[in-house]
A and B are shown apart, each in its own frame.
Chain A
Amino acid sequence: MKNIIETKQLCKTFSNGGRQSHVLKNVDLEIREGDFTIIMGASGAGKSTLLYALSGMDRPTFGEVNFCDTEITKLSSDELALFRRKYCGFVFQQTYLIDSMSVLDNVLAAGLLVNKNKKEVTEKAKEILNSVDIGEELWNKFPTQISGGEAQRVGIARALVNHPSMVFADEPTGALNSQTGRDVLDAMTKFNEQGQSIVMVTHDITSARRGNRILYVKDGEIAGECDLGAYVSGDADRHAKLRDFLGKMGW
């Protein structure tokens, strides 16, 4: 399978009071098309930093990120914004939906950036909302009028409306209870099965099981990786394999 993202010697260093903290250390990595890549690691290991560096949301201190044959580390902030609207979708732990926009408008606000045909985008947005089980009765509600799980699924719809090359998810179930978290993961799994590439940061083993490739970050480096293969619901071996891998990594 083709690589969508390739990094070379990716480094990220934070300075604070003359003290330097190397959060990412020479990370060389490839993310393949169609994969559901999971980034795991302990708190402060550099998982989110890696995710945001890969997506062009944050700039590395050193190194390259090639995303769909574009070296995004060389792009300006506006060029990065244009790049993200076309190639990236984001799902955050806190949904960051815009409170003053309805559910449908939140999705359209992203869709209309890429496709100027309002009718087409509206249809597409409705279709995606339906596919994440956000029915018509919720489309005109505001984010404060729906549940956390529903809001997160709207966030997924917003991330997918432009058919991005990659969806980046930063602990999307972190703020949800187990049932609503499962609904969100089901939605993401479904889209991955339809060919959508996803990179997700999580420290939850149940969420991680949904991925086919697990990367373990430790002290700013990729300490190991595990290939779980395509997700199959209720596969006990898969769970054991993952636990085994995480055990080896010191989880």
Chain B
Amino acid sequence: MEAIKLLTGSHFRKNKATSIGLFFLMILAAMLISSSLLLFTDVYPTVEREAKRLNAGEGFFRFTTDLTGIDDEYIEELMNGDVKEYEAYHCLCYPHISVPFGNGKVVMNIQVSGPEALNKKVARTEVITEDSSIKENYVYLPYQFYTSHSNEVGDTYSFELLGKKYDLKVKGFTNTTYYGCNNNGTYEFIVDDATYEEIFERDGEAQEAIVVTYVLKDGVKNSKFAIRVSNDLLKVNSNTNVNSVSLSSVITGRTFMSLIIAISFLAVSILVLLVIIMMLVNCISNYIKENMQTIGALKAIGYTSGNIKASLFIMFGALGVLGSAIGVLLSYVVMPVIAQFVVVQMGVPFKVSFSILPTAIAFMVVVFYILLVTILSVRKIKGIDPIIALRDGVAAHNFKKNRVRLDRAATGLNVSLALKTMFGNMRQNVITFIVTGVIVFLCVISLLMFENFNRTPKLDMLSFEICGGVVTADYEAKEEVLEYLEDRDDISNVRNIMNTYLYVGKEDKLWAYIMDQPSKLKNQNVIYDGRFPEYDNEIAVSGKFAKEYGYAIGDEIKLEYGDEKYTYLITGFLQTTNNDGKEALLSVKAAEHLIDFTYAPAAYNFDCDDKEVVQKVLDDCTDEYGDHIVGTVNFWEVIEGSMTTFKSIAALMLVLVCAISAAVILLVLFLLIKSFLYSKRRDYGVLKAIGYTSNNLILQTALSFMPPIILSVLVFSVVSYFAANPYMNMMMSSFGIMKANFTIPIPGVVVVGVGIVTVSFLFAVFEARRIKKIEAYKILIAE
């Protein structure tokens, strides 16, 4: 054992720089794997964990519009049998209200409650931070307003409810499961008693709502229960608007981006681990090649192959164990930074805590692969004959070919010699090619995310329809408003898109988009398979829903609304990230089999690219039709607000991937060039002796690394261009994106490609400057 220890120390001393390079890669891999596992197991479940802690149960109902006949007794009757616990409370609800958030505005259902909302027992609302000195004229905002840096405690928050502006002091921020995230459609503003009274007096009659949160008994299926309650309630009062939201859809909405980040991180870490494995194989193989005579001498003096293998195994194993340990510890250092970005989107408080499982898994995965690769790589030592080893591995036969003949080469001498070197190192070329390719792919994906979530948001992937603005008019004025909008020259393509839930038996429900001509949708990408519904018996449903229930295009689906039932033909599949990926699209004529739209308001979407013009149209409309306008939405303003969370996450991904890519490519080049210079030192000695300058040799060496890098950049840029969207499909299909059509910024890809080649060349020149230290005389006399 002592002898093996001695040998292990000797290996390390001899390969100090290489070992340290590998060590850093091991740290990086362990850190990335541990971070992504922590994102999966600690950050991602935070929303669910918090929901449990706040006793969120399985979902909530919000009854609005007409509450006649819905009293406490009736609610008790409604809940009876299926729920373990429930809580009903009154508040005010304003659908589709535009409120300031982030850098812009968001359109949300705004639920306004009095301070008693903080005393709920089911789906509790908890104050995270507050200024208790603020006693009046205040509002508690959801925590997401804090994490997105929209507001601070003590700020004045101004918002408008049905034309009345309110300026309230931010008393604190609340942690709430259902009403705390812009992706879930509802924000709860808890205001002081006096303010609540004032708002209630003004809007109470029309905006009063009853919210029922519930915890189901074991074995009761939430979707079935929600449909049963909706149907029962509509029988009592068909004018009541029932909005039911499940906990699972809330969790999906809140964790959408954090899951993408976790998956992206895991993908990056796996690729880094693959790079390490390749580098480890290369390093061990080089080590054996470079130390052939030493291995021969060791075997001669009595070391068995097992002893030599054990010494290498101990060295790389120890590096792996130490590197992994440091890596997982570092993951806890970087986690708060990563978590900050995720928390913006989740809108829940999160603190990094030690988690044994992801830590142990990350540690063991890295150590296991390092040990496995080491075991497999050192096997070749057994086959080395001591005599051949003492002759530096020179066997009787050698099939080397002279691929670049200097007498026939058309290129200059330096380039010809660089090509000769390149052809003589095929394994190094393959590794460089693969590693560069992986880096190019990662960069293209992060560029894609940056382009589509930050620079120019790919709205057709994130929103069902793209438009400039929306005017919602009541049934009395809807025809007039349509005429008015169509007559305006500054907007175009006015179309009415109405929404309601349609029920699939007693099992599930679909959020339906209903319009005169569905094929007139601006977002033509929304149908990813099949065609738009055209006739009155046709419908398109979301792909995620179809997959869950086994529907194919051409199948029939029976839908219900109240007592009405109708069977539709499925003509196409939709891709949508909203409503848990359960949506449908059909024409007004088709929907009329179930619903009478006579008294329904109309939501007119119109196109206009100018935010200011859109605002003018909305203001003109409100001035013209007053109370007949139920709501207006400036789409461009809303996008600015709702993209706040996506933007920061996309920017984080770009920065992280670029930093990791740069670190990996530089470490890999460092390891390859170092080992290359060592193996070529004799040749360099000879070349210097015959008159080559150090600069000639540095240039040749750096150039010899370039062909595989350039080739890889070219090949993988093209591959990534075609593979990026399928890769995003794979990642996002669980959210409803079935056929991603993200923009790949070609100039960005070109910049990345040129950047990788340039940085690699400069680094190769920098590393190859060690050639200057090689002295021809010393090398030759050492032979």
Residues of A whose CB lies within 8 Å of any CB of B are 14, 16, 52, 57-58, 77-78, 81-82, 84-86, 88-90, 92, 94, 96-101, 105, 108-110, 112-114, 116, 118, 158-159, 162
Contact = CB atoms under 8 A, between A and B. Distances in A.
A84 B397 CA distance: 28
Given A110-B302, A113-B301, A96 B6 contact: no
B565 interface: no
B246 interface: no
Contact of B14 (A58, A99, A105, A112): A99
Contacts of A16: 396-397
B299 interface: yes
Nearest to B5: A112
Q: Which of A16, A89, A113, A114: most chain B Cβ within 10 A? A: A113
B297 A81 contact: no
21 contacts: A16-B397, A77-B304, A81-B303, A82-B302, A82-B304, A85-B302, A85-B303, A88-B302, A90-B300, A96-B297, A96-B300, A99-B14, A105-B6, A108-B3, A109-B3, A109-B7, A110-B302, A112-B3, A112-B6, A113-B307, A114-B302
A108 B6 contact: yes
B305 interface: yes
B395 to A, nearest CB: 11
Given A58-B387, A78-B306, A100-B11, A84 B300 contact: yes
B13 interface: yes
B10 A101 contact: yes
B294 interface: yes
Contacts of B304: 77-78, 81-82
A97 B382 CA distance: 21
Nearest to A158: B301
Of the listed residues A81, A82, A105, A112, the one surrounded by the most CB atoms of chain B closer than 10 A to its CB is A81
B293 A96 contact: yes
Interface residues of B, number: 30
A159 B305 CA distance: 19
Interface-centre pick from B3, B301, B307 (highest chain A CB count, 10 A): B301
Contact of B297 (A58, A98, A105, A108): A98
A-B pairs with lowest CB-CB distance, top 5: A85-B302, A96-B297, A100-B14, A112-B3, A100-B13
A135 B658 CA distance: 56
B305 A78 contact: yes
Given A81-B299, A96-B297, A57 B306 contact: no
B7 A94 contact: no
A94 B293 contact: yes
Contacts of A78: 304-306
Nearest to A121: B2
A109 B386 CA distance: 17
Contacts of B2: 108, 112, 116, 118
A242 B307 CA distance: 44
Contacts of B11: 100
Given A99-B14, A116-B2, A118-B2, 20 more contacts: A16-B397, A57-B386, A57-B387, A77-B304, A81-B299, A81-B304, A82-B304, A84-B299, A92-B297, A92-B300, A96-B296, A97-B297, A100-B13, A101-B10, A101-B13, A105-B10, A109-B298, A112-B3, A113-B3, A162-B302
Contacts of B390: 92, 96
A98 B293 CA distance: 9
Of the candidates B299, B302, B387, the one having the most CB atoms from chain A within 10 angstroms of its own CB is: B302
Contacts of B296: 96
B305 A81 contact: yes
A78 B305 CA distance: 7
A105 B390 CA distance: 20
Interface in B1-20: 1-3, 6-7, 10-11, 13-14
A72 to B, nearest CB: 13
Nearest to A83: B302
Interface in B386-400: 386-387, 390, 396-397
Given A58-B387, A113-B3, A90 B10 contact: no
